[in-house]
Structure 1
Amino acid sequence: MRIVSFGFQTWGRKTLQALIDSDHEVVLAVTHPASESSYKAIWNDSVEELAREHGIPVHLTERADAATIDLVKRAEPDVIVVNSWYTWMPAELYSLPPYGTLNLHDSLLPKFTGFSPVLWALISGVEEFGLTVHRMDEQLDTGDILVQHKLPIPACATGTELVLAGMELIPGAVNEALAALVSGNPRWTPQNKAERTYFHKRSDRDSRIDWSSDAVDLERFVRALSAPYPRAFSHYRGERVEVLAASISEASYGGTTGRVVVQEGGGVVVCGPNALRGNNRGLLITRVRTADGVERDGAEFFVRGGYLTDAPE
């Protein structure tokens, strides 16, 4: 088959590599220009560079405009394959090839449609995540499913570890999807849109720790926001502090939500919800980074006690 690839960042590059390694011909690679924005600069392996190394024509664009659609028409693809494309694709484009357009999305659709699905899955506390290959339609991540691969979420996994594990699913999923199309009898499974969950783009505010949350949720939140992602943060004595490592306290603690209570196990415990009754475990902070970029042990940094707050006080 003749394939046009739409993709960006490491996800797009791994998908293009899988297409190059297949028995099919990649006739055009469409990608975004390099970006310095906070999330686009993460996992920024170049699709353009890989395509040019293999002599594949490249089209750089921010959006699927008229010029892009014209180039794709002239490439005469049998199918378009998309992974990590940031802007809207019109029906004129995604319905153009005989086999339509396949989109790769790193969640188990219809759950976690939208943005940063792996991080949101870990933050949400689900037990598994994965990769879905589906047919593109008029809505975001809602088309019929062709291939879906699952992975468990280990108890101590970080967001970065899960993202990397999910990327390793790309070659197998691409090959399975293309083989299904070639067979002439692909099995499409409609999504139950009543089960759909949508998650928005993450911003700086989404990394702020909510001390009214349970310690189990907060510990998972800290793990999800692992490097190179923006880290979980709070404010202590007027200074923004990133929480790099934390666990759940052994004892339950009472007092006031957000209060640095006591040292335990090499860190300090911060009270969470229901602090008045002391019914909950606290978050045990063991490693932090201050605004000057210096990392410190939790017990050393919080030795004066006090409160962690949503904003500088």
Structure 2
Amino acid sequence: MRVVMFGYQTWGHRTLRALLDSEHEVVLAVTHPRSDHAYERIWNDSVAELAEEHGIPVLIRNRPDDDELLTRLKEADADVFVANNWRTHIPERVFALPRHGTLNVHDSLLPRYAGFSPLIWALINGESEVGVTAHLMNEELDAGDIVRQEAVPVGPADTATDLFHKTVGLIAPVTVGALDLIASGQTEFTPQDRSLASFFHKRSVEDGRIDWSRPAQEIERLVRAQSAPYPSAFTHHRGRRLEVLSAVVSEGRYGGTPGRIFHREGDGVVIVAGPDAHTGANRGLALTRVRTEDGRELPAPEYFTSLGGYLTARP
């Protein structure tokens, strides 16, 4: 089939690579300009460069809604459009243009985690698996019928970076497998159960701020979700920003006020956490490695030379 590809960053790059390695023909690539957004500088392999290396025409757009682009898309005479990590709304006059519609590839197990940063949100929320879904696009974001979907388990120590590497490998089989089904003449696919749908916003640095009134288990997942190269989870100590690079849920139960720097346990320093921390029924969070405001990385017991005082969400 003749394919026009919409994509950005490494997800789009891997999708284009999969298409180039398939029996389908890529006739045009549309991608975004480079961005200074903290999360868009990560995993930023260039769709434009890969397309140009293979002689594929490239159009760069923030939004796919101008008349010139529509003309080029009509001239491409595509059987199907394929989108992965396209960051702005694709209007119906675009996604309905090709003969078989538009296949969107999304890194979650739809209908859950539609929208942005699904792997990070899924890890924070303690999901047991993540995956990649290819679905036909309709007027509602990430809501069309599912053509193919594959999942991988989330391990107890997995970071968001680990989940990226697990799921990016699913892009090729999910995308090409879905296209092969469409090319075979299949037209009936699996409708999404919209009662299970959830939609998430783009993450920003602010979303890494630690709230010590949350359970330690949730904060520990936040720390793993904000693994390098993502901006680290952070708190404040004595008015200065302190990044938490690694942490584990404590073995003991610790009571008191959330954020209290309380006890050395193993290789970490335990911080009291949880909405009902005053009961003494909660595990704490044992910080094991931190980064100071001036960029020094060190084991938490070396940073906390004395106990007492508090970690706070803001200076």
**TM-score with structure 1 setting the length:** 0.98
Q: Which residue of 1 aligns with 2:43?
A: 43
User: Which 4+ runs in 1 deviate beyond 2 A?
Assistant: none
**Other structure's SS at 2:29 match:** strand
Structure 1 segments unaligned to the other structure (5+ residues)? none
Q: Which residue of 1 aligns with 2:21?
A: 21
CA distance in 2, matches of 1:138, 1:174: 21
AA of the residue aligned to 1:4: V
AA of the residue aligned to 1:282: G
Pairing of 1:125-140 with structure 2 (within 5 A): 125-140=126-141
**Other structure's SS at 1:249 match:** strand
Q: Give aligned-pair identity as a percent.
A: 53
Q: Which residue of 1 aligns with 2:191?
A: 190
Say if 2:216 and 2:284, in contact at 8 Å, map to a contact too. yes
- The farther-off stretch of 90-99 and 29-38 is 29-38
What are the Cα deviations for residues 196-250 of structure 1, in whole angstroms up to 9, with x where unaligned?
Answer: 0111111222100111111111111111110011110000001000000000111
**Other structure's SS at 1:311 match:** coil
| C-alpha RMSD of the superposition | 0.9
CA distance in 2, matches of 1:240, 1:187: 53
What are the Cα deviations for residues 2-36 of structure 1, in whole angstroms up to 9, with x where unaligned?
Answer: 10000000000000000011101100011111222
CA distance in 2, matches of 1:93, 1:216: 44
What are the Cα deviations for residues 39-76 of structure 1, in whole angstroms up to 9, with x where unaligned?
Answer: 11111000011001101111111110222111111111
> Which of 300, 303, 307 is equivalent to 1:301?
303
Instruction: Please state how far the C-alpha of 1:275 moved relative to its aligned partner.
Output: 2.2
CA distance in 2, matches of 1:175, 1:205: 37
Say if 1:209 and 1:218, in contact at 8 Å, map to a contact too. yes
Q: Which residue of 2 aligns with 1:218?
A: 219
Q: Which residue of 1 aligns with 2:273?
A: 272
AA of the residue aligned to 1:42: I
- What is the aligned length? 312
Say if 1:146 and 1:186, in contact at 8 Å, map to a contact too. no
**TM-score with structure 2 setting the length:** 0.97
Instruction: Please state how far the C-alpha of 1:187 moved relative to its aligned partner.
Output: 3.8
**Other structure's SS at 1:126 match:** coil
Q: Which residue of 1 aligns with 2:313?
A: 310
Instruction: Please state how far the C-alpha of 1:182 moved relative to its aligned partner.
Output: 1.2
**Other structure's SS at 1:276 match:** helix
Pairing of 1:1-313 with structure 2 (within 5 A): 1-64=1-64, 65-273=66-274, 274-305=276-307, 306-312=309-315
CA distance in 2, matches of 1:107, 1:203: 19
Say if 1:235 and 1:311, in contact at 8 Å, map to a contact too. yes
